[in-house]
């Protein structure tokens, strides 16, 4: 079997993975989708109770829509805001059931390793002529498979960041793991018994934290003994609550304003400048320590400090990743929250996502590495461009166009000295550029716009914009 006749291996059957399947199907490129979970959208189901900030019109891939139009599928109201469960039930499940896609999905198949078939990481000779070799853990055994290309859309949900601000678990974090929950537990549903009437500490400053905070406040109405502590690393709450009415994603703006009101009325007790170093236990509960300072003892801790990519399966491939962001090197400067001051990431595709090993692509949330912002439609454009490149349609692959919703808020506390007393080391200028974010967005960040893009702007800065050239495209990066 020649390499060209082998299927493309898509890792992950979430929204971006299935969008890749739809794009390849419309181009008659063979593919197989490996999903580690027992259903499509397995990771999405973990936060299925959460309403997305973006309405349906931003959450359906164009190629997927075309395939579904051939069936009896009724497209949801484009202006309505779906939950994660609705994304699965009303979109992903019908898409996965389409005859062009269904036969090629393998559930309960976890890809654990990818390599070149007869070339380890060190070998140069003939490397790029070798197909990809995959090792896949099935429910009963480890099996081998081959592929012509790799599209890794496995996401980051399974690797949450630890409590420790230095990237390591805080001392005692493992010891008290039975008191710690990550992600966005369903505090008003399946997890209500765990938190009702308890003292709960939420750690994290993004919109994922906002979601769980508002649910805990609602839970307190049912169980008045519930108390809510909220710890953030930022030295101030300034700008943390988002753009409010200026946000072009109204649900996101409204969420931030609701949480701000809850803090103001005392329903949530906010602790700023908290960089947890250790956890200790006593008869009174678990205590988080910020150096010599201690937060109130609690019964439960919910950690929403973001996620990081699991790169272990790709260790035998030659990747070009930024050492800090852990995103493709060409993409990293466009999304690095240390560099950018507000929410704009330019359109990008195969050119920015390619690696030294040809035909290897990391897409979706995983393509952003540790950067906290991502929008589903950004992933859809990524896989559209990559599918065109795999089909040899380079004109379409290079023509990357994406109009993102605008935001009226910038993330500023990330810039400069994280220990500054009032965040003054950060720029405080506003931004009206388009934003990118995950459906469970952590922050707004980045302030770049393509030279040709007129769909957004960034506020004036004292220094001149820096020109970045990536592949055949140029971008202006503003400090």
Asked if residue 437 has pLDDT above 70, the reply is no
Asked if residue 210 has pLDDT above 50, the reply is yes
**pLDDT per position as a tens digit, 259-304:** 889 999 999 999 999 999 999 999 999 999 998 999 999 999 999 9
Q: Mean pLDDT of all residues in the chain?
A: 83
Query: How many residues comprise the chain?
Result: 479
Instruction: Tell me the mean pLDDT in the region 77-90.
Output: 96
Asked if residue 80 has pLDDT above 50, the reply is yes
pLDDT at residue 238, as a whole number: 65
Instruction: Tell me the mean pLDDT in the region 207-229.
Output: 94
Instruction: Tell me the mean pLDDT in the region 186-213.
Output: 94
pLDDT higher for 359 or 346? 359
Residues 6+ apart with CB under 8 A from 266: none
CA angle 31, 32, 34 (to 5 degrees): 150
Strand ranges in 49-198 using DSSP code E only, listed in sequence order: 105-106, 110-116, 132-137, 142-147, 149-152, 180-182
**pLDDT per position as a tens digit, 356-369:** 999 999 999 999 99
Q: Which phi and psi (to 5°) does residue 201 adopt?
A: -110, 125
**pLDDT per position as a tens digit, 12-50:** 999 999 999 999 999 999 999 999 999 999 999 999 999
**SS3 helix, strand, coil % of the chain, rounded to 5?**
25, 20, 55
pLDDT at residue 467, as a whole number: 45
Place of tokens 């990237």: 167
Q: Which fold does the domain 177-303 belong to in CATH?
A: FAD/NAD(P)-binding domain (3.50.50)
pLDDT at residue 134, as a whole number: 98
Written out in words, the top-level CATH class of the domain with range 3-158+307-398 is alpha beta
Residues of each domain in the chain carrying CATH 3.50.50.60: 3-158+307-398, 177-303
Instruction: Tell me the mean pLDDT in the region 53-72.
Output: 94
Q: CB of 93 within 8 A of CB of 51? A: no
Task: Pick the range with the lowest mean pLDDT from 70-79, 247-256, 291-300, 440-449.
Answer: 440-449
Q: Among 410, 459, 406, 452, which Cα is nearest to 250's?
A: 406
């Amino acid at each position: 079997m020649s390499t060209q006749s082998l299927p493309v291996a898509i890792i992950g059957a979430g929204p971006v993975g299935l969008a890749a399947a739809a794009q390849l199907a419309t181009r008659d490129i063979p593919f197989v989708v490996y999903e580690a979970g027992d259903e499509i959208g397995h990771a999405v189901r973990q936060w299925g109770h959460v309403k997305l900030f973006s309405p349906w019109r931003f959450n359906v891939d164009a190629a997927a829509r075309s395939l579904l139009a051939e069936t009896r599928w009724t497209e949801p109201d484009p202006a309505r805001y779906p939950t994660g469960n609705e994304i699965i039930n009303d979109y992903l499940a019908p898409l996965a059931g389409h005859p062009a896609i269904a036969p090629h999905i393998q559930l309960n198949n976890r890809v654990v390793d990818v390599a070149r078939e007869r070339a380890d990481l060190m070998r140069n000779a003939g490397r790029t002529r070798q197909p990809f070799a995959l090792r896949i853990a099935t429910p009963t055994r480890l099996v081998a498979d081959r592929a012509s290309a790799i599209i890794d859309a496995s996401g980051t949900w399974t690797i949450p960041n630890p409590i420790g601000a230095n990237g390591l678990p805080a001392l005692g974090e493992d010891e008290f793991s039975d008191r710690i929950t990550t992600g966005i537990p369903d505090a008003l549903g399946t997890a209500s018994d765990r938190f009702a009437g308890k003292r709960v500490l939420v750690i994290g400053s993004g919109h994922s934290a906002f979601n769980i905070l508002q649910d805990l406040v609602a839970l307190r109405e049912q169980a008045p003994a519930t108390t809510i502590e909220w710890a953030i690393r930022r030295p101030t709450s300034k700008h943390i609550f988002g753009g409010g009415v200026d946000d072009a994603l109204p649900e996101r703006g409204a969420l931030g304003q609701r949480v701000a009101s809850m803090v103001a009325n005392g329903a949530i007790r906010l602790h700023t400048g908290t960089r947890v170093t250790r956890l200790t236990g006593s008869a009174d509960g678990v205590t988080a320590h910020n150096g010599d300072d201690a937060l109130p003892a609690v019964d439960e801790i919910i950690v929403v400090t973001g996620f990081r990519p699991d790169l272990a399966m790709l260790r035998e491939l030659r990747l070009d990743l930024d050492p800090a962001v852990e995103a493709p090197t060409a993409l990293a400067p466009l999304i690095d929250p240390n560099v950018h001051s507000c929410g704009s990431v330019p359109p990008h595709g195969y050119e920015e996502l390619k690696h030294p090993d040809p035909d290897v692509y990391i897409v979706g949330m995983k393509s952003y590495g540790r950067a906290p912002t991502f929008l589903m439609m950004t992933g859809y454009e990524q896989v559209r461009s990559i599918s065109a490149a795999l089909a040899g349609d380079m004109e379409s692959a290079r023509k990357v166009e994406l109009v993102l919703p605008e935001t009226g808020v910038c993330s500023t506390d990330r810039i400069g000295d994280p220990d500054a007393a009032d965040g003054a080391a950060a720029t405080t200028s506003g931004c009206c550029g388009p934003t990118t974010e995950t459906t469970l967005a952590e922050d707004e960040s980045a302030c770049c716009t393509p030279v040709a893009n007129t769909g957004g702007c960034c506020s004036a800065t004292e220094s001149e914009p820096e020109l970045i050239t990536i592949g055949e495209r140029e971008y202006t990066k503003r400090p």
